[in-house]
Structure 1
Amino acid sequence: MESRLPSGMLVTALLRRMNDGGGMGMVLAKGDPMAGGILVIVIGPDRTERVLERGIGPDGRTALIDTTPREDVTGYWQRRRARDPDLWVVELDGATAERFTAETILND
C-alpha cells in the first residue's frame, strides 16, 4: 500500500514554496486535513486562471490534470466544493505556480 502525506501538510508546503519563491498563495476553502482532494487555481502572468488537480493521466500514472472550465472559475470551484466538503481550494499567483504545484502534490 502506498502512503501519502496528509492534504493539509501538502497545502502548507505548497503555500510556503510559493511565498519563498516570490509568489503569493492563499487557501480559498479548507478541506479534510488528512485526505481531502486539492484543487489549485493558478493565475498566469496574463491574469488568466487555470484549474489544476491531481488525477490519472492517459498513461495511467498520477498526473497534474487541467480541469479549467470555459468560464466562471469561481462558480466552478464553489460547485465542486458544495459537492465535496473535503476538497481544498488553493489559489496561487506567481511565475512558478504550476511547477511548484506539480512538484508538491505529485511527488508526495
Structure 2
Amino acid sequence: MSAPRLASALEVAALIRMAEAGGGFGMVLHRGEPDSGSILIVILDNQGFGQTHARAFERLPTASGSRSWSLSRSQDPEKKEKFDTYLARRIEQDPDLWIIELTIAEGEQFI
C-alpha cells in the first residue's frame, strides 16, 4: 500500500513559498489539475550577470516503482527558444501538468 500523495496545488504552493522564504521568487507558468497533476519545475539561476540558465526537473517513475526528480531539459543559452518549445510541447502532451518557475540560487535544494 502506497502512502497518500500530497495534492499538487498544495505542493506547488509550498515550493513557491519555500523559494520566496529563501530570498528567491516563484510563480506558476501553467496551472494543472489541482489534486493529481504532475509537476515540472523550471529552476532559473540568475546571479546578476544578465545570463540566466534554466533547467527543467520532473518527477519520473523509477524501476523500483517510486518517483524521483530528474533533470529533463537544460536550456542552451544559444537557443533559448528550444526550451520554451519544450515546455509548450509538455503542456500539449499533458494538459494537467503544473509548470512552476523558481528563480533562486541553488534551486535544486527544493527538489
Shift of 1:61: 4.3
Cα-Cα RMSD = 1.9
Letter in 2 for 1:56: P
The percent identity for this pair of structures is 37
* Aligned residue in 2 for 1:55: 60
2:40 counterpart of 1:36:
no
Larger Rg computed on CA atoms: 2
How high is the TM-score relative to the length of structure 1? Answer: 0.83
The equivalent residue for 1:13 is: 14
Quote how far apart the aligned CAs of 1:57 are. Answer: 4.4
Question: Do the aligned partners of 1:29 and 1:88 also contact (CA within 8 Å) in 2?
Answer: yes
Contact 1:36 1:87 in 2 (8 A): yes
Contiguous gaps of at least 5 residues in structure 2: none
Partner SS, residue 35 of structure 1: coil
Cα pair 1:41 1:92 within 8 Å, conserved? yes
Q: CA deviation at 1:98?
A: 1.2
2:73 match: secondary structure:
coil
Give 1:1-108 correspondences, 5 Å limit: 1-2=1-2, 3-45=4-46, 47-57=52-62, 61-68=66-73, 71=79, 72-100=82-110, 102=111
Query: Mind listing any 5+ residue stretches in structure 1 that lack a counterpart?
Result: 103-108
CA deviation string 1:42-98 (max 9, x = no partner)? 112451111101113466643211010565111111111012110000011101421
Are 1:57 and 1:65, in contact at CA under 8 Å, matched by a contact in 2? no
Q: In the comparison of the two structures, how many residue pairs are matched?
A: 101
More strand per residue: 2
